[in-house]
Structure 1
Amino acid sequence: MAAAPPGGQEKVIAAAQHIVKSLANSKNAADDMIRILSGFDDRLTFMSDLFPPPPPAAAAVREPSVVEEVEEEEAGPDDAREDEVEEAAELVERWDSPEEGDRLVFDSAKDAGDYLDAAAVLVGARGARAEAALQAAMARLEDEFRHLLARGMSPLAGEDLHASLLRRLSLTVPSFASSASDLDCPSFASHAGDGDESGGAGGRASVSDEEISPYLISPDTVGALRGIADVMLRAGYGPELCQVYGEMRRDTLMECLAVLGVDKMSLEEVQRVEWGVLDGKMKKWIQALKVVVRGLLAEERRICNQIFAADAEAEEDCFTEAAKGCVLQLLNFGDAIAIGKRSSEKLFRILGMYEALDEVLPELEGLFSGDARDFIKEEAVGILMRLGDAVRGTVAEFANAIQGETSRRALPGGEIHPLTRYVMNYVRLLADYSRSLNQLLEDWDTELENGGDNVNMTPLGQCVLILITHLQAKIEEKSKLYEDEALQNIFLMNNLLYIVQKVKDSELKTLLGDNWIRQRRGQIRRYSTGYLRSSWTRVLACLRDDGLPQTMGSSSALKASLKERFKNFNLAFEELYKTQTTWKVVDPQLREELKISISEKVLPAYRSFVGRFRGQLEGGRNSARYIKYNPEDLENQVSDFFEGRRPNA
């Protein structure tokens, strides 16, 4: 190869490289130019050495040539990419111009699509204009995201939301029995509840998308939000996005909570509020817990999953930020109730809260993940345990209240004592919570002096036995307020039969067993026998032959004795009639059985006595004064007994 002339060779080479660069689009054109230049001056023949032909094996796949490497180093963004970025920046800048005013991009589906496409082009683009446009796009998309969240939510009409959610979920809460008016024992408890719909823990309810979505984000808005989220997450604006979503959705869920009747209350406020108001708030909490976990939060989770499908971590962060305030407000109220002052009337609401939280806890825990899940679970489990402690403490408080009841007023007519009604309605409702109470009362002190009755009983059965035993002891004590032994027995019969019937007609029968019922029925029969003996022994004594003069003796003496007997009988019977028609045997069957027992004892004796001695008095002066009644008259009189008639009625 000829040597190139010194000094000028570099300039020629540079010129040749420039020409080759210009012709780089055609390999053949470059070869032609080299050949021409070499022919023009043999000093340029060395150029063929600079650009040797490729070996045959590399014709299809080869290493880049020097010219191609130069092209790649100096070319920069291709024209198409540059144009696309410029157009995207221009579109973003136009939307930020004063001419657009306050118009929103997402008022138009086409504008929204174009803007999102432009923002996506700017992600990763270089250059000052592109970076500035990207920042402007992110700021606008954040505002549009906020506006869509606010606009996409249907109006939260309080009554509509509350009624619709509860109707669709068919939720019920526990309450006192329908006979709440019976639970009137002022010295024992302030009142017994509001007589709301009854039931233990409600069954699981499910909520479909169509039922809840209208109260969260309308479906046609979710797609637009997802489009914004995809672009902002790609651009690294996840934290800003999550902050907007968390703030907006947290406020919405808290508004839903207020509509459902769960207000933010401190422990001090819970302690101060009167029971009637607090009872209503506890009831609404039970309802709201299920609506929130199974309805609102489950739907919120689904929405988060759709909007933030591009980033699982952002989904978790956004859901946690949106949901935690609502969940913590629910849990804080539950905690305030659990650690608050204990009183008997709160028991069934606390049990309802315990069962509701226990029931939804796995679902609540499953809505969260990571640290948030651990935190929520720890809080909820702690509150659940404290609610359980409150249940045990309240049951113990109730047992003490029965034993400590001190009213000294004897009820007219020996009727059922309010304490008996209250306790039995209260105890009967315990059976509705047998699953929970058998767990919570497992280690409860169930020792009884007459412990034979509670062998093989469940923990709840043992608890019920203790409470009813306390009640029976108190009723025995109160029977002593009556001076009349017969009325004492009527009072004891009325109250014990009421207890037995409440047991027999409810789940308490399963807890206490048939043997317990048989024993109490035997006790009722003994009270009946005690009544008959104390009331009618003196009456029947008037109809016996004992003490009468022998008929073979003086006729006048016999007549005098018979007059005295009939007179005493009449006086005794009339006194019983006057008194015992005002007494009240509450149960119709027991009332009739007692009347039959009286008739079976008195009428045959009277009929026999009159039959044997009527002739001794008939025909004499004023004989009708002594034989005032025939047997049918007495039977009619007995039918008026135990009806609770008021004197002089």
Structure 2
Amino acid sequence: MGDAEEHVIAAAYHVVKALEATKNLNFSNDVRRLLADLDAHLSTMTTVGENEVEKTRDIENRLRSSQEKITGLHSNHLRIWNSSPAIVSEYLQAVDEVRRLIETLESYPSKKTWKQRDLLDRAQCTLQIAMTRLQDELVHILAQSKQHFEQEYMFYPTCEENSVYEESVVSNGGDSVQEDMSQRESSSTETEEYVMDLVHPDVIPKIASIANIMFASHYDHEFCQAFVRFWRDELAKHMMILNVEQFSVEDVLKMEWKCLNSRIRKWRRAIKNVVGIYLASEKRLFDQVLGEYGTISSTSLVEASKVSLLCLLNFGHAVAIGPHRPERLYCLLDMYEVLASLISDVESLFPEEAGRSIRIEFHDLLRRLGDSAKAIFMEFGNHIASRASRTPFANGGIHPLTKYVVNYILCLVEYGDTLNLLLAEKDGVNLDMGSNENIGQTTISCPVAVHLQSVTSILEANLDINSNLYINTSLKYIFVMNNIHYMYDKIKNSEVRRYFGDEWIREHIAKYRRHAMSYERFTWNSILSLIRIRDDGKTGKATLKERCRDFSIVFEDVYKIQTAWYVPNLELREELRISISQRLIPAYRNFVGNITNSIGEKYLKYTVHDLESYILDLLDNSQKSLKHPG
């Protein structure tokens, strides 16, 4: 009821009273009844007005008291929540009193008195000041009580510390892959779930009390704004500690491999830490503070984390669209596996509609990484086929391409399950292993096995082409034998054997032995023909002398040439020497006997013992020459 209305009612009431008191006026009974009814109605309205005035006066007194408490506490305490619990309680009660007074004043009819409007403005202004102070108090509490990550939470051991996709492993050379693989196996075990307190547990009730009063006062947006901003900034600082930098797609595509490799390691560590530890801890805190307010907790978590998460995801997208070079396969698979292991965490962190865009981004990056890894894996055979040599590899040893391909394959065994899933997804293959009896057969026919066997076939074809560069046919056989034996030996003694099977192993044993036999026949059969003498005694002395001279010349040439050749595998080298001795020594011993009996041993340059000793020098990558006696 407005002030003017109150004055009109009061005036009318006095007029009616005056009319009723006048004796000289002759009113009809109807008029007198009307005046009586009007008297009663105006009396009631006057009483109501007096009650409203009393209520307004009470509100004014209560508001004044609360204002004085709030203003006094603001002036006397730099930080209210650093004071005693009694002070905090007094402050919250005063703020809540103002909130309730506002609700009371707002419940009045739209036509409020001037006094009521003034009180409402004063109360809202006081509440606004209190809410601003509460925001400051909230940020101070968070800053003062935040917990710093312990070292083990920041850098818990993961496979990136011993990654197998170092440039040295997939480069042209090096046999360190087995050691690297064992390191990866020992360090790539699943880490337990870590959730830590982002703030000291004792302050959560304080934060909740601020949230309660601000939400009740309809300042929920302001609370969430301050709360989210603080944790968004903290996550950004955490990313800096993890050495995460923001790069554009162009920056990533131009990055040198060594630098990119390092950045990918940091990315893997960071995304596991951020999603698996930091955001899991953040979600728990948000639920503790905002859980009772419906979806606000999940919405706030999205707002606090999306900038940093998108920074991580954008880097992943840039890597995924990079060139399909073989050395990138391992980093893509590592990134894929890390991301795949975090998908369930992401679904738990962002289950609501507000987090849908983040979930979509994670799944999209996972798909892109998988597609890129598949493409590189499937194109690897073409990469090998295109690596044609123009000159023969020195001394018939292990060609760098062979080491490169074999080490590449050995590294892939750790990613076999992942690659099978990716390839099966592409080809629609059912990877159900079935019964135990069929597991071996299923493994050697799975997509990864089929492709790896194809890769080795392409490598062998490449080796055959490279072997034709040798002028010396014997060295050609040594070269192919060495490389096939290297391939067989590395695969036989590794986990990757399950993708090749026993039949492949047997075939390649036969292959390298076949080339070894070809080497022996081509090299030594012509020499053996020089020292084979008919037992009928019809060979002339001149012929025998010529045979002695020719054998010495040919053997010396073979010795000089083949001591420089190289069979790196000690066991294979010994097998060849033994086989050569078994061919040559008995025949030479018989030749020595015939020569001694026919023309005397003075025409023999070398004894049987000499030959046995010289054979031990062959294929050792150390060229030597025989010194002619006397």
TM-score by length of 1: 0.78
Contact 1:201/1:355, CA 8 A, preserved across alignment: no
Provide the secondary structure at the position in 2 that maps to 1:645: coil
**2:127 is aligned with what amino acid?**
L
Looking at structure 1, the residues matched to 427 and 577 of structure 2 have their Cα atoms a distance apart, in angstroms, of 44
2:88 to 105, 112, 123: 112
Q: Which residue of 1 aligns with 2:157?
A: 170
Paired residue secondary structure (2:160): coil
Contact persistence 2:165–2:331 (CA under 8 A)? no
Aligned residue among 466, 470, 493 for 1:505? 493
Question: 1:35 maps to what in 2?
Answer: none
Indicate the residue corresponding to 2:272 in structure 1.
290
SS of the counterpart of 2:452? helix
Shift of the alpha carbon at 1:74? 5.5
Q: Which has the higher helix share?
A: 2
Moved more, 264-273 or 251-260: 251-260
Structure 1 residue 407: Cα displacement: 2.9
Structure 1 Cα separation of the partners of residues 276 and 170 of structure 2: 35
Find the counterpart in structure 2 of residue 632 from structure 1.
609
Q: What is the CA distance between 1:337 and its match in structure 2? A: 1.2
CA distance in 1, matches of 2:548, 2:293: 104
Q: Does 1:134 align with 2:116?
A: no
Whole-angstrom distance in 1 between the partners of 2:50 and 2:615: 123
Output aligned runs, 1:531-610, within 5 Å.
Answer: 531-545=519-533, 551=537, 558-610=540-592
8 Å Cα contact 1:542-1:565 kept in structure 2:
yes
Q: 1:106 to 1:225 in 2, by over 3 A?
A: same
Aligned equivalent of 2:448: 460
CA shift at 1:314, angstroms?
Answer: 2.6
Match status 1:435 vs 2:417: yes
State the partner residue of 2:65: 87
Q: Give the corresponding residue for 2:237.
A: 255
Cα distance, 1:369 vs structure 2? 3.2
1:378 Cα deviation (Å)? 1.6
CA distance in 1 between partners of 2:216 and 2:131 (Å) = 11
Q: CA deviation at 1:297?
A: 0.4
Partner of 2:378: 396
Residue 648 of structure 1 and its aligned partner are, at CA, apart by: 6.7
1:116 CA drift (Å): 2.2
Tell me, in whole angstroms, the C-alpha distance in 1 between the residues paired with 2:300 and 2:264: 30
Q: Would you say the 8 A contact 1:92–1:136 is kept in 2?
A: no
Q: Which amino acid aligns with 2:83?
A: S
User: Structure 1 residues 169-178 or 273-282, which shifts more?
Assistant: 169-178
Q: How does 1:8-87 map to 2 (within 5 A)?
A: 85-87=63-65
**Alignment-mate amino acid for residue 331 of structure 1:** L
Q: Distance in 2 between matches of 1:454 and 1:423?
A: 24
Shift of the 195–261 alpha-carbon distance from structure 1 to 2, 3 Å rule, reads farther
Per-residue CA deviations over 1:484-505 (Å, capped at 9, x if unaligned) read 1111111111111111112112
* Aligned with residue 185 of structure 1, among 160, 163, 172: 172
1:530 paired residue number: 518
Counterpart for residue 101 of structure 2: 125
Give the Cα–Cα distance (whole angstroms) in 1 for the partners of residues 491 and 20 of structure 2.
116
CA offsets, 1:222-281, max 9 Å, x none? 332222111101110011111112222111112212222321111111111111111111
Q: Confirm whether residue 221 of structure 1 aligns to residue 188 of structure 2.
A: no
- AA partner of residue 104 (structure 1): R
Tell me the secondary structure at the aligned position of residue 491 of structure 2. helix
Residue 149 (structure 1) shift = 2.5
Contact 1:146 1:245 in 2 (8 A): yes
Q: Measured at CA, do residues 74 and 645 of structure 1 come closer, stay the same or move farther in structure 2, by a change above 3 Å?
A: same
Aligned partner letter, 2:615: V
Residue 542 of structure 1: CA displacement? 0.9
Name 2:621's counterpart in structure 1.
644
Superposed CA deviations along residues 546-577 of structure 1, whole A, max 9, x for unmatched, are 5x9x53x6xxx722111111111111111111
2:206 matches 1:206? no
| SS of alignment partner, residue 428 of structure 1 | helix
- Residue identity in the other structure for 2:157: S
Worse-superposed segment, 632-641 or 144-153: 144-153
- Structure-to-structure mapping, 1:446-525, within 5 angstroms: 457-525=445-513
Q: 1:594 to 1:295 in 2, by over 3 A?
A: same
Partner residue in 1 for 2:293? 311
Aligned counterparts of 1:629 and 1:275: Cα–Cα separation in 2: 57
| Cα separation, 2, equivalents of 1:532 and 1:443 | 49
Instruction: Identify if the C-alpha distance between structure 1 residues 195 and 503 changes in structure 2 by more than 3 Å, giving closer, same or farther.
Output: closer
Residues 240 and 79 of structure 1: CA distance in aligned 2, closer, same or farther (over 3 Å): same
Mapped to 1, the partners of 2:550 and 2:54 lie a distance apart of 133
CA drift at 1:617: 1.7
Give me the whole-angstrom Cα distance separating, in 2, the residues matched to 1:10 and 1:499: 125
Distance change (3 Å), C-alpha of 1:544 and 1:179: farther
Cα shift readout 1:298-334 (whole Å, capped 9, x = no counterpart): 0000011112244223322221111111221121111
Which residue of 2 is the match for residue 321 of structure 1? 303
- Cα distance between partner residues in 2 of 1:574 and 1:87: 117
Q: 1:261 to 1:371 in 2, by over 3 A?
A: same
Partners of 2:131 and 2:219 within 8 A in 1: yes
Q: Is the 8 A contact 2:443 2:499 kept in 1?
A: no
1:230 maps to which of 209, 212, 221: 212
Moved more, 248-257 or 219-228: 219-228
Letter in 1 for 2:138: F
> CA distance change for structure 1 residues 219 and 519 in 2, over 3 Å: closer, same or farther?
same
| One-letter amino acid of the counterpart of residue 238, structure 1 | D
- The letter for the 2-side match of 1:106 is W
2:145 aligned partner? 152
- The alpha carbon displacement at 1:431 in A equals 1.5
Residues 562 and 623, structure 2, Cα contact 8 Å, conserved in 1: no
Question: CA offset at residue 543 of structure 1?
Answer: 1.3
Shift in Å at residue 80 of structure 1?
A: 9.1
Question: What letter corresponds to residue 617 of structure 1 in structure 2?
Answer: I
Going from structure 1 to structure 2, the CA distance change for 1:177 and 1:381 (only over 3 Å counts) comes to closer
Distance apart, 1:469 and its partner CA = 1.0
Specify the code of the residue in structure 2 equivalent to 1:361: I
CA–CA distance in structure 2, aligned partners of residues 250 and 263 of structure 1: 16
Whole-angstrom distance in 1 between the partners of 2:329 and 2:382 = 14
SS at match of 2:424: coil
SS at match of 2:101: coil
Distance 2:446 2:186 in 1: 19
Q: Distance in 2 between matches of 1:635 and 1:570?
A: 14
